[in-house]
Each structure stands twice: as structure tokens, then as C-alpha cells.
Structure 1
Amino acid sequence: MSISHVLRLSRLKLNHSGWCFRLIRALLPVALLGLLVGCSSAVTKLETWEGNPATAVNASTLKAPGAISVSQVNGRAMTNYMMDDLALDYALLPGENEVVFTYKTIWAKPGVVGNGESKVYVIESEPQVVRFEASPDETYRFEFDKPETRRQAEQMMPEFSASIVSADGGILATSSDWSPSDSTLTVRTPVPGDPGADDGALSDSDMSSLNRLKAVWATANDEEKKAFLRWAFE
């Protein structure tokens, strides 16, 4: 085999490898998008209770857009997902419900961003709480003013509030600032135990303290959690 044949074969292999690489690079975003869509569809309906209550078959639905991050419902911490702007539906038991959430907007920074600097501005409200009576098999949603600019978002955050709106457009309740001591509802529907499960059960005051601890833990950041664990195990 001559040298020219070897060179032509090498160029052919390189071209073929380059074509395969370009094809993989082009298809990778599609595959990732499919994975994200699959993940989002699997987590778009979250139950907010514990156990198997009979009224769950008539649960109502609270639709939360991506800008609303629900941290807890009726004292029960909700799962935080790694993806921002993920719209979720929350299944609520009929009756009184307490929802704690924050509102977040993200704005791109203009111009060149320094090395290691975030490329976006994140503007977030203080924790909010809203309490309302959910009817069986109803659908509710959040309604709030949406800023058109970053400056508007910064100006509205100190006074931010959102309303819970029914399917027919009626406003059921409006949120207010929240702190852990404000919670009035405990975790709904604990898992039923055996007939003798009451032995050693927590008293009402113990359960109230436990729920407050859970509420504080749900809103603590990583450093605060680490500091608490260091204190608890000293």
C-alpha cells in the first residue's frame, strides 16, 4: 500500500470521526431536554400529607408557577428540586391549609461578567404564608403582580404578597410575611399506628415544639444547619 493510500485512509477516518462528534454534540441537547421533561413530568404533582387519609381521593390542587417556591404545607417540608423555575402542582386535603412560600425573580446582568461572578441577579421575597379553606376536587392558583424590570422587582419585594385564586377567579386569601412562630397548623394526617402505639406518644406541647423545630429547619440555610448539628452533638 502506497503512502498516498495511507494518507487518504487517515483523512477519511478523521473526517468520519469529526462527523460523529458533530452529530453527538448536536443530539446531546435534545437528549438532555428529553431527560428534563421526563423528570419534570414525574414530579409535577406533590402530596402534602402523611399517611393515607380517606379524604385524599377528593384532594384539591394548588398550581404553583416556577417563580413560586413552596417550602412547606401545613407544617410539612416540601421537596426542593435543583431546577429553578419548575412549575409544580400540590395536592391539598379538603379543609384549612397553610402554605409557606417565597417568590423569586432572576434577571440577566448586562455587559461582561467577571470570572467567577454570577451572570444573573436573583431577587427574592421574604417568606410568605397564606391560609385558606380548600374545597374537594377544586383547583387553585397563585396570583401576583409581575415586575417588568429588575428595578421594579427590587421595589416591590418589601411589600410583596400573592393571592390564592379559585378556578372561577375568586380570591380566597392573600399572603403575608411569615416567621416560624406564626404557624398555626400541624402536620396533617400522621400515619396511623397499632392499637398500642399510643404508649410513649408525644404530648400536644411536645408535638408543638417538634413542629416548630421542623419549620425552623426547613427555612435554615446550610451554614445554620451545620452550626445547629455541631451544637446538638457537643
Structure 2
Amino acid sequence: MLFIDGTFLKGRFKCILLSTTAKNGNQGLHLLAYAVVDSENYDNWLWFLEHLRSIVQSTRELTFVSDQNVGLMEALPKAFPTSNHFFCLQHLKGNLRDKVSGGGFSNNYRERMVWLFQEYAHSPTIALFNQKLEWQLNGFPCVHAVAAINRSGRCIDEFVDYYFHVAAFGKSYEEAIHPIPTSTRLEYENSANFDILPPPTKRQPGRPKKRQIRSRGEQVRMIRCRKCEKLDNHNKKSCKETLA
């Protein structure tokens, strides 16, 4: 695996450093080749890669990892037509973070998306990748899913099941709906020998209450007592006033 990148050099001449690093036997990185050019374009990348090809074995299956530079992506297939070309995870995470910046996305949501993307990238097999993706989509908030679909430029109707479309709703009412024959007695099996009886009741112990328990806020009718001449809810018989 070869890591290839272009770096802007600060200084008087404002040059670009093209470099290639590789892994050694101790799983460490070592510099394989480098060059200083005036700009990071197709011609300079092709020149650098053609010289790189002269020092690596052409019979080996090579895998390049880069930051998706336009000139490099065009020159690499020309210099190494049979090699694999992968993209740097750090650059992809940065691109994703830029894509979901603004547009109603919170900082927590943006960082969670970047973290999930890293989890998918570290999946060692396709089966595990699909498993993680399915798990995430099942727990994906609806409002976030709609925002992601809208930002992708695709129509949200593509992600809605057919049974929730207007056409499916209309088809459910295509056939006639017949009214109930009678509202007092429904016809069903053995209905001639079946009567609905009221539920059994049992008298509660004690004397039944004559005074109604009023609900909260219910207005009480006021009357004038003929004994004390006061406007209240009692009468002459129940009056407790003592006359002088």
C-alpha cells in the first residue's frame, strides 16, 4: 500500500511537495519518493508517477491511497493502469463534515455522522458493513432522514412505501362500501336465538343517598329562608338560626 499526497510548502517560492510513503516490515511508514514542483496538476503528477513506476515492481499488485486530487486521479490510471486506488479516510471525513455543515444540522448531529462513517469504513467485511448500516437506518430519526434525502437532491417519494402513496389510498376505496342493514339489530350467525340482556345489578348496603353529590364548580340554587330571612341553600325546617 502506497500513500501519495501533495503538500503546499510555505516559503519564498510557494512550491508543492509531491511525496509517496509506504509501510515497512515493522508496520511503520517510510518515505519512498518525493519531488518539488510548481503546482499540483495533471502533468506534474504524471511525471512524478512515471518516475515512481521505475523504482517499484510492476508485477506486484499496488494499492494507492490519496486525497482525490483532480490531477492525481487523472494521472494515476495512466501510470499504473492495473493498480487499486483508495481514498484517505481523514480527507473523506473532512469532506463529509463540510457537506453537513449548516443547512439545519446541529454540531452533535454532524459529529455523529462523521463517527458513523468512520465505523463503516473500519468494517473488515461487506457483511459487517451492511449490518452496521442496517442497524443505523433502523434507529435513524425521521426528521434527520428527511433532511438528508432533501440535501441529496432525490425525491422523498422514492423512500416511501407504495401503501402510503395517494394512489394506494384511492384503490382502497374503489369497491362499494355497503351500509349496515339495521342499526338496532345486526344480523349474524344464530342471531334469532340470542338476546342482549342488561348486566346484573345488586343493591348496595345501607340507605340510599337522597342528596346528590355535586361536582366541583357546579352552581347551587339559592333560596331565602322564611325563618332567618337569609339567602342560602337551607329552608325554614333545616334552619339552625336561633331567634332572639
Smaller-chain TM-score bracket: under 0.3
More strand by share: 1
Asked which structure has the greater RCO (Cα within 8 Å, sep 6+), the reply is 1
TM-score by length of 2: 0.20
